[in-house]
Chain A
Amino acid sequence: MKQVVYLLLFLMFAVNVFSQRELAKERIIEKIYEQLMETTDGEGDFSVLYDDLTYFAENPINLNHTSKDELEKLRLLSDMQIENLLFYIYVNERMETIYELQLVEGMDVFTIELLLPFVQVGASDAASTKYRFKDILTYGKHQFIARFDGTFEKKQGYRPAEENAEFNNRYVGDPFYTSLKYRFQSKDWVSLGLTAEKDAGEQFWGTCNKGYDFYSGHLQINDLWKFKTIIVGDFKANFGQGLVMSGEFLSGKSSSVTNITAQNNGLKKFSSTDEFNFFRGVGATAQIGNFDITAFYSYRKMDGDTINNTFTSFKTDGLHRTVKDLERKRTVGRQVFGFNTTYSHPKFKIGLTTVGSWLDATLQPEARPYNLFYFQGKAQFAASLNYYFRLYKFRFCGETAINERGAVATLNSVTYSPVSMLNLALLQRYYSPKYDVFFANAFSENSKTNNENGVYMGMEIEPYRLWKISAYADVFRFPWLRFGTYKPSTGWDAFLQIDYKPHRKVEMFGRFRYKNKESNLTEPLAQTFYVGTTNKASFRYQIAYQIGSIGLKNIVEANAAYTEKSSATYGFLILQDVIYQLPRIDMTFCLRYEFFDAPNYDNRFYVYERDVPYTFSSSALYGKGSRYYIVYKYTIINGLTLYLRLAGTVYADGRKTVGSGLETIQGNTKTDFRIHLQYQF
């Protein structure tokens, strides 16, 4: 009887909790996720970060035998904290216990708690990283992942053609997403991966397509002879501060206000289902003395609307659901050659990066004033010099780049910690409007790394133990027009967060954010627009606490958005998370229930959502309504894990449809399900 009551209640209230490691992984991603979503409007691929965190959760970093490169992969510690940690270990020769982390300068209780699941203290003379072929098989782990997604409601694109006259189109495939992944990982030495994916609406087998729509694969070997990395297949590359080359969306403004420099440089395997943002070819990094030399070559067929061997823009969403989409599929060939050499010294680092890209069709953006300086043509080149050095308690870091048009982009930052309780950061950037480079992705307010200059200042202070105050201010200017802002414009952004941890199992923060930015505005009934300031102020209070094996979280967020000519509209969000892990068996439930009231798009909310592994899909919430999700995880047998996710949004603002175009759903409800099966041995 007791068990039945337990089971009934738990199933009714669906809760969850992850292990400490799962939770820490989620929280690291969450820290950078929401602000990034706002900047990129829902785009972002966290698979590399998730991969690294998963790897380190299973193979914790031995702090007595680690390196800057390895610690950077966590994206959790600032440059300063990494330097201080390595310095502490160097001075004391080794750490005796993990509790010594508290003695490291600049290491606060919040960071330590996130760090703990990924680090350990072992022997300082740990085994050499040299390995033999036999070791690869001995330590190898295989993983198979199958995923199946769908939406319960029928979308317009799946209705018969005669009902789609308005759209003159319909989806050619079935309404389900499916993907298969295989991975082989042997410690940090060898990684092999294959991915096949079909998006909802794409045809699996028929007249338009045969098989999966997207295939990806990679083989990465690390630490082989002089080579730090060798990659064949699909990969990403990050160099310097991202002015020339960065495949990840991870540097920028976030609640880690002094962690502003790009980390984790080099070539990285690509195993995500993002169909745009990766290279396909070969690459290698060789270590010769203090030099790291990287070279890679990539050739891919990209999507674009090609007419007479010219196209206006790349199609980046990877969706091939309609006949029109299929006509644009893989129409533009792109070759990329990249080279980087970095000289590392204990006190400084300097690197040179060059990248050349050749298209087999001419990129010719539609003639618009805002894209006057966008790249046009077939060939693009960029080169940069990046540096890093320490001077007393200052750390300097930066990169300066130039492209084939002679346009310059430069980013320079300094971080300073006068006392252990205070960290300061200052970053300056200037990106010429003519600096439009395909793979640039550096610190910026814009989603593109061009046409911007600005100054960022960040501060982190621990006035008392268990308290942390983080703040930043960023002023920026766009010297040329932008999409949606048809004159040179300015803006500023301020952020203040106060974290408090009154108890080992309770932590909370209050966060205030204000942004002032210029954009096109229209007056009611007016036919023309003008450029004016838009303002958004938001406040969030979040508390997370643990009671036994039950984790709970609440968020209350309110915002006000207004422009020069319009009065403020107010948005409000309230949220409850309950997380429960059943004792003894590996079964977890996670439930979220939230209400949102965002009368305008400017009042929209971004809230990180728990999902199945390697999936990070979250869209902006606006309108009035409620949203829920349930994530269920069950380890059926050792190694075989099933994840189920059900998520729904019910709008209560009187709307008769959800979505637009072929994605339109009749009614006020959208309900998605996801099944993820993972087998690891």
Chain B
Amino acid sequence: MKKLVLSLGAFFLFLNSAFAEITTIVPNSYVPGNASVSYVNAWLPFHNPAALAHEKVGAIQLQYDNRYITKELNTALVSGCYSTKYVNIGASFSYFGYSVYNEMLTALTFARTFGDRFSLGIEFNYYTVFFSPTERYRGTFTANIGLQAKVIDNFYISFAAFNPVFSKIKTEFLDKSLPVVFSLGTLYQITDQVDWLVQIDKEVKSPLRWATGVEYRPFKEFIVNAGVYGSNYAVPTLGVGFHFSGFEFRLNTEYHTRLGLSALGALRYTFQSQKRK
């Protein structure tokens, strides 16, 4: 059992370094190039919590993500958010893995705008990992903070820090540090239909990751996006989205030259209400 635990630990550590990204803990997003820190069109749980401040009413979302067509590398996510007069509130839950090894992340998020150009958000997370039948579940609290600033018209700069408190889980056999990630990115709204995102992420122990992507909305009902991110490898991403009376369906794919294809599907429903902030 000890060997199994150590092997699994080593495997996931490899995944972390091979991806040089935010690790399996944080679910992927459908944002082009995964350059999500400055994305303002929707709140993406576990990414930049400041984006929640832009939600006008409320929404629920389901997301399913499979990495490299490997059945053990699935992440399911469910989230919901609600806008109030003072602060927007979001709740989310994600599950990654399978019976022998799995990780869960639960979050409660608060965000609000200050004026029409600046928003702040904070997310309180509880991370749980199932190591083995003997170790069972271990968990720890952490946080995710972020801001989005509209510097000039059509141009945003955003920042997010995941786990700035350096939370980690200690067991008898493993000492698992949660990733500590600093993300900085920009959004340039080239036209009403075209957004260009650029981002860099630095996990404290890993190499720098860069990302960029373009989202194009030719019609109200249709979205297409393309991007690329990378560290040691460049990973292209391609996605489409459909929008009908409150429902939005997104499909995103990415291709890693060594590890293969990943796919993500998300369904989001935005409440229709007269209430506006």
Chain A positions near chain B (C-beta within 8 angstroms): 1-2, 5, 9, 12-13, 502-503, 506, 543, 545, 547-548, 550, 552, 554, 556, 572, 574, 576, 578, 593-595, 597, 624-626, 628, 650, 652-653
Contact = CB atoms under 8 A, between A and B. Distances in A.
A650 B115 CA distance: 34
26 contacts: A2-B86, A5-B87, A9-B87, A9-B120, A12-B122, A13-B122, A13-B147, A502-B152, A543-B157, A547-B115, A547-B151, A548-B115, A548-B117, A550-B149, A552-B147, A552-B149, A554-B157, A574-B200, A576-B184, A595-B182, A597-B202, A597-B208, A628-B164, A652-B180, A652-B205, A653-B205
A7 B115 CA distance: 16
A1 B86 contact: yes
A652 B149 CA distance: 29
A547 B149 contact: yes
B255 interface: no
Closest 9 CB pairs of A and B: A652-B204, A595-B182, A576-B159, A595-B202, A547-B118, A547-B117, A5-B86, A545-B151, A652-B205
Nearest to B117: A547
A625 to B, nearest CB: 6
Contacts of B151: 503, 506, 543, 545, 547
A214 to B, nearest CB: 37
Given A13-B120, A506-B151, A554-B157, A5 B112 contact: yes
B243 interface: no
A556 B202 CA distance: 11
Given A12-B122, A652-B205, A653-B205, 6 more contacts: A9-B120, A543-B157, A547-B115, A593-B164, A624-B205, A652-B180
Contacts, number: 84
A335 B145 CA distance: 58
Contacts of B204: 595, 597, 624-626, 652
Interface string B78-114: 0000000011000000000000000000000010101
Interface string B143-172: 001010111100001010100101000000
Contacts of B182: 574, 576, 593-595, 626
A548 B118 contact: yes
Contacts of A574: 182, 184, 200, 202
A269 B189 CA distance: 54
B35 to A, nearest CB: 15
Contacts of A653: 205
Contacts of A624: 204-205
Interface of B: 86-87, 110, 112, 114-115, 117-118, 120, 122, 145, 147, 149-152, 157, 159, 161, 164, 166, 180, 182, 184, 200, 202, 204-205, 208
A540 to B, nearest CB: 14
A552 B149 CA distance: 9
Contacts of A625: 204
A430 to B, nearest CB: 44
A543 B198 CA distance: 15
A5 B115 CA distance: 15
A179 B120 CA distance: 38
Nearest to B183: A574
A502 B149 CA distance: 16
B197 to A, nearest CB: 16
A605 to B, nearest CB: 13
Nearest to A597: B202
Given A5-B112, A503-B152, A626-B164, A550 B118 contact: yes
Contact of B208 (A550, A572, A578): A572
Contact of B149 (A545, A556, A593, A650): A545
A1 B117 CA distance: 22
- For A1, A12, A545, A595, the residue with the greatest tally of chain B CB atoms inside 10 Å of its CB is A595
A624 B203 CA distance: 10
Contacts of B115: 547-548
A9 B184 contact: no
Contacts of A548: 114-115, 117-118
Contacts of A506: 151-152
Contacts of B159: 554, 576
Nearest to A593: B161
A650 B165 CA distance: 9
Contacts of A502: 152
